[in-house]
A = this chain, B = another copy of it.
Amino acid sequence: MPKTIYDIAKEAGVSIATVSRVFNSSNSVKDSTREKILKIADDLGYHPQAYAQGLASKKKNSMMMLVPVMSNYFFTEILRGTQDVLADENIELTILNINQEKGVFRQVEQVIKRQWADGYLIVSLHMTQQELQKLKRYNVPISLLDDHSTHFDSVSFNNEQGGYTATTYLLGKGHRRIVFLSGRKEAIPNKERFKGYLKALRESKVPFDESLHITGDSMDRDGFTEKNGYEAMCKILNLDKPVDAIFCTSDIKAVGALKAMNDFGKRIPLISYDNLSISEYIGLSTIFQPMYKMGCQATRHLLNRIDNPDVIICDHIHNPELIIRDSSEI
């Protein structure tokens, strides 16, 4: 039922090679021939099939973005960067959601084996170095975002630095009992930020109090939810000794935490992480990461590697930035 290159060729009285050339706009085709073919193709609703082109040319002209959750502003910003870079290229971007519950590595490997795209942009998937190493064998362009590795191009955030900066700021305000309001404690970004928190405490000679390392009970999305923030805040308010301030590892969690403070009539200085678009409007002091810029960068890495498989591996680590608003100034 759908038209093929043969239908167009027959209709135009040319060979399929000529039709093919028109759509690859590469080789020279007489203008009048080209126009005739284009007209017929348009009338018949024809365009070369992606799969057949991919098979024949070994070039898919597509890249695939692999992501865990796409709920958030974080992801949207990255996507914006990617799309802006891709705007002038003739490359389709397709997005595949990786289910964190079903074995990240297995899914990623499967996609690569099946050769869906010319290159893969892997975002926030946090595979182990060993797993990444295994992907090397497929010899396929891969660019990591929000993840670090010596095996592939990568663009990542200095999470430790973020935790350090926020905590240092709070210490500078004279706070001593500072909560680390955590997501799932084993989550990679969480662990790194925790390191920075510890480092800041150490520098100020404030001993670490394990009872101030707190998370809620709801653990979907690694605990990065309003609900978890709310639960955690309730625990904080029930502590025997009151706390001075809070470093919270995500804005979304902070929304829950602020609600709990409100519900119980408390106000505790808080800095969170992400700088979502709402954060400005609810007055959250927070750590900002240049997501858009990094989306651009990681995409450029990938394009470059597709064209040029042997360039040296790039590895950018960005420092986040503290934005002070109301929530920390009490």
CA A260 – CA B110 in complex, angstroms?
50
Give the contact stretch, choosing among A44-52, A162-170, A290-298, A300-308: A44-52
CA A50 – CA B259 in complex, angstroms?
48
The complex is assembled from copies of this chain, and their number is 2
The reply on A255 being an interface residue by CB < 8 A is yes
The reply on A105 being an interface residue by CB < 8 A is no
The reply on A93 being an interface residue by CB < 8 A is yes
A45, A73, A92, A93 pick with most chain B CB within 10 angstroms? A45
Instruction: Find A282's partner among B47, B70, B139, B282 (CB 8 Å cutoff).
Output: B282
- Judge whether A69 and B60 touch: CB under 8 Å: no
- Judge whether B48 and A51 touch: CB under 8 Å: no
- Judge whether A49 and B96 touch: CB under 8 Å: no
- Taking CB atoms, residues of chain B closer than 8 Å to A71 are 73, 76
Instruction: Find A47's partner among B99, B114, B258 (CB 8 Å cutoff).
Output: B114
- Judge whether B138 and A2 touch: CB under 8 Å: yes
- Taking CB atoms, residues of chain B closer than 8 Å to A147 are none
- Taking CB atoms, residues of chain B closer than 8 Å to A230 are 281
A72, chain B: closest CB distance, angstroms: 8
- Judge whether A113 and B60 touch: CB under 8 Å: no
Residue pairs across A and B with Cβ atoms less than 8 A apart, 21 shown, are A2-B115, A2-B139, A45-B138, A46-B113, A47-B110, A51-B51, A51-B115, A55-B55, A69-B76, A70-B75, A71-B73, A79-B97, A83-B99, A92-B96, A225-B277, A226-B281, A252-B277, A255-B278, A255-B281, A255-B282, A278-B278
Given contacts A51-B51, A51-B60, 13 further A-B contacts (CB under 8 A): A2-B139, A45-B113, A50-B51, A52-B55, A55-B55, A70-B75, A71-B76, A95-B96, A226-B280, A255-B278, A259-B281, A278-B278, A282-B282
